Amino acid sequence: MAADSNQTTRSPRIPPWVLVVVSALAVLLLVGFLARSAIDVLALVLLCGAVVLLQRTVGDWFAELVGDSAANVLFIAVVLALLGGIFGTEQGRAAATAMFRALDDRGFQSAVVPVYGPAASPTTSSPPANVAAPPLPTPRLATDGPGGPPRAGGVSAPGGTVVAPEVRTRPGSVAPEDRRPPPSEPAVSHVIVRAVPTDQPRQMVLRAQVMAGPDAVRDGEVEFSLNGRVVARVPLEDDGSAEARMANLARGYYRFIARFIGTAEYRESISETNFTI
């Protein structure tokens, strides 16, 4: 009885290295969360914490059943299988990308792993050389009546058409510049977007066509973005088109947006489409 009374039950002692690892992970997690950066490091911190927790619970329990050596081998195999399932399969990478995208949308940034895949050096089409602006229509002058002489003052002609004032010059003088008022509202434009695959793997050609009614818009620039990040800014060609070639895109889901940067004559317009590599 005395021997039994001297025996005390001890709770399992946590090794010091476990305390050090958990403390370091907690500090990294706190710093990364407060700085709203390094979402891949945060994910690694959470994964390491989960591994340590499993090792100190399920691993210890399994070691009591089959022994330390077999338990360690099985535990390492399970961890490698989990990592292979996450980073070695399309479904795992898609799930990881979706998680990173959700964190990125909330202001976190990646430190090592590109969230949406590296958009390596987009090659854009060369800007058009000296594209001539479309000719402006000749202003009509208001008259006092049908067939009457022009009237100065820049008032509205019958039917509500705003016209320019009459310009009078003396013999030998130079006519002043056209002082027609700018249009009250820019013309409405719309953008047609396409993502065209190429014969090279993980490469896409981003194309945009800017139109104003049946006519092509020839002046201005188009801004291309993938998943919310600007990757190129291309001037319009004579036919109103612009394109950028993207190489080394990571496999996954992409949201492609083309934004026509408005000018004095045409309003800004945006169009988008989605594609998967």
How large a percentage of the chain has pLDDT more than 90? 6
Q: Is 25 exposed, middle or buried (0-12, 13-18, 19+ CB in 10 A)?
A: middle
Summarised one tens digit per residue, pLDDT across range 115-154 is: 444 433 344 444 444 444 455 454 444 444 555 554 444 4
**DSSP label at residue 58:** I
Return all residues near 43 (Cβ < 8 A) that are at least 6 apart.
96, 99, 100
Each domain of the chain, given as residue ranges in start order, spans 11-105, 120-131+185-276
Write down the CATH superfamily of domain 120-131+185-276: Immunoglobulins (2.60.40.10)
- Count of beta carbons in the 10 Å neighbourhood of residue 233: 16
For residue 156, pLDDT beyond 50 = no
The C-alpha atoms of residue 149 and residue 165 are separated, in whole angstroms, by: 13
For residue 112, pLDDT beyond 70 = no
Question: Could you give the maximum distance between any two Cα atoms of the chain, in Å?
Answer: 133
Least trusted range by pLDDT, from 40-44, 81-85, 112-116, 229-233: 112-116
CB-based contact 171:240 (threshold 8 Å): no
The one-letter amino acid code at 135 reads P
pLDDT at 37: 60
What does the mean pLDDT of the chain come to?
69
**What angle do helix axes 16-35 and 39-54 make, rounded to 10 degrees?**
150
Which tokens hold the place of 31?
């710093």
Summarised one tens digit per residue, pLDDT across range 163-208 is: 444 444 445 545 444 454 455 567 777 888 888 888 887 888 899 9
Summarised one tens digit per residue, pLDDT across range 67-78 is: 777 777 777 787
Return all residues near 56 (Cβ < 8 A) that are at least 6 apart.
14, 18
Whole-model pTM above 0.85?
no
3-state secondary structure of 34: helix
CB-based contact 93:87 (threshold 8 Å): yes
What's the half-sphere exposure (Cβ side, CA atoms, 13 Å) at 145? 0
How large a percentage of the chain has pLDDT more than 70? 57
The owner of tokens 């795992």 is 92
The owner of tokens 């409405």 is 188
pLDDT at 115: 44
Which tokens hold the place of 39?
């979402």
For residue 261, pLDDT beyond 50 = yes
Greater confidence (67 vs 156) lies with: 67
**DSSP label at residue 63:** H
For residue 3, pLDDT beyond 60 = no
Greater confidence (129 vs 267) lies with: 267
pLDDT at 147: 52
Q: Which residue from 164, 158, 269 is spatially nearest to 209, judged by alpha carbons? A: 269
